[in-house]
Amino acid sequence: MPPDLVEVDGVWKNYGDRVALRGVHFALRSGEAVGYLGPNGAGKSTTLKLLAGISRPTRGSLRIRGVDPSTDRVRALQRTGALVETPAVPAYVTGSDLLEFVARVRGVASAERRAAVRHAAEVTGVVETLDRPYGALSTGVARRVLLAAALVGDPELLLLDEPTLGLDPAAREDLRRMLRQLAKNGLTLLLSTHLLEDIESVCDRVLFLRDGLLVGDEPVRPETPEVGGAESRRLALRFGADVSEASLRAALGPEAELTLLGPREALVRFGGGDRAQGELLARVIRADLPLLTASPPASDLARRYLERIGREEAT
């Protein structure tokens, strides 16, 4: 097996006079959860269609486990699940019929199909709805049935295109929770979306795509250097009244790093775990400083999106 599970090497894709991808290059290592982030029309769905063997690149090459899906689709996609855009499923087809059909297409042995279908349905929480017609399902449940179909046969790679689009907040969070668990279990995931929350919730690494160009490849949460040789944490502190930098530094102690964001807001970085955090906050309270809230700082993914993509369709 090659060192990278997925290799996209200098890929261009033209649709007539329109250029959808412009020399895109990236790789996915086994077990990574990677977000593919950009506005509508950036070329995200095009990339997934190429990886799923639905389309062929104009120039460049793609490999899944060293095999080109455009020339040997069956072998390349043996251990790959894909949900690209929204498949057209007849309203009368039951979830069970759909999953069993996918199991047959994926080459799951007949003696193992029932167990494979059951396992995928359990992972996605749709066991109780398998006998219902697809057209009678809510949007959220239907999306989970489609995800179950992509997971039949326990693939090691999952390609997802806008999986939470159109879902209500509760269904969206349910799906994100499910994807987080799949990623923890070692599934390699490429999640294409234009929703920052999907990436922040599920992925460890993010690719930024703009107008068919890859303009960023970086961690979702950039690592913070250690403080004093210990694990580093950051806290955003908000106060109910103005506090001076001197009084806050005196309360925090010399080992904490302080960045004052305003007269009532500060960012603190310190070494240690839960115990160190508790002791730090206790010192602030004992110093009689008017602390209102202490929480992990907001992700800077939105800022980086705007820097790399611009304001168009930033979500």
For residues 46 and 143, state if they share a domain: yes
Q: What span, in angstroms and rounded, lies between the C-alpha atoms of 7 and 76?
A: 12
Cα 193 to Cα 117, 144, 198: the distances in Å are: 27, 17, 7
- 252 and 124 in one domain? no
The tens place of each residue's pLDDT in the chain, 315 residues long, gives: 446 899 999 999 999 999 999 999 999 999 999 999 999 899 999 999 999 999 999 999 999 999 999 899 888 888 899 999 778 899 999 999 999 999 998 889 999 999 999 999 999 999 999 999 999 999 889 999 999 999 999 999 999 999 988 888 888 888 999 999 999 899 999 999 988 889 988 999 999 999 999 999 999 876 555 555 455 778 889 999 999 999 999 999 888 888 887 888 888 888 877 888 899 999 999 999 999 998 877 667 887 888 888 765 444
Assess contact for 232 and 269: CB atoms under 8 A. Answer: yes
One-letter amino acid at 289 equals: L
| Helices and strands, counts by H and E, the chain | 10, 13
CATH number at residue 106: 3.40.50.300
Tokens of 1: 């097996």
Q: Which 3 state secondary structure label does DSSP give 184?
A: helix
Is the residue at 97 inside a domain? yes
Residue type, 217: D
Q: How far is CA 218 from the centre of its chain?
A: 13
Q: Do 166 and 255 share a domain, yes or no?
A: no
State the virtual CA torsion across 264, 270, 274, 275 in degrees, nearest 10. Answer: -100
Q: How far apart are CA 294 and CA 223, in angstroms?
A: 20
Q: 308 lies in a domain?
A: no
Distance CA 304, CA 22 (A): 21
59 and 10 in a common domain: yes
Scanning the chain, the segments in alpha helix (DSSP H) are 44-51, 73-76, 95-105, 110-124, 139-151, 169-184, 196-202, 245-252, 274-286, 301-308
Final residue of a structural domain among 219, 254, 276? 219
Among the candidates 165, 197, 219, a domain finishes at 219
Residue where a domain stops, chosen among 195, 219, 243: 219
Say whether 207 sits in a helix, a strand or coil: strand
- Structure tokens of 80? 């790959």
Whether residue 58 lies inside any domain: the answer is yes
Domain carrying residue 289: 232-295
pTM for the model stands at: 0.77
Are 207 and 273 contained in the same domain? Answer: no
Say if residue 163 is in the same domain as residue 26: yes
User: What's the CATH number where 289 sits?
Assistant: 3.30.70.1560
Round to whole Å and give the CA distance between 31 and 314.
Answer: 28
HSE (CB half, 13 Å, CA atoms) of 282?
A: 6
Together in a domain, 57 and 187: yes
The reply to whether 199 and 289 lie within a common domain is: no
Give how many domains the chain has, as a whole number: 2
Judge whether 182 lies within some domain. Answer: yes
Same domain, 157 and 204: yes
Same domain membership, residue 205 and residue 95: yes
In a domain, 227, yes or no: no
Q: Is 305 domain-assigned?
A: no
Beta bridge partners of 197: none
Are the C-beta atoms of residues 284 and 252 closer than 8 Å to each other? yes
* Residues 62 and 190 reside in one and the same domain: yes
> Per the domain annotation, does 311 fall within a domain?
no
Domain co-membership, 207 together with 248? no
Q: How far apart are CA 208 and CA 185, in angstroms?
A: 25
What residues pair up with 210 in beta bridges, in sequence order?
A: 213
- Quickly tell me which residue has 């930024």 as its tokens: 208
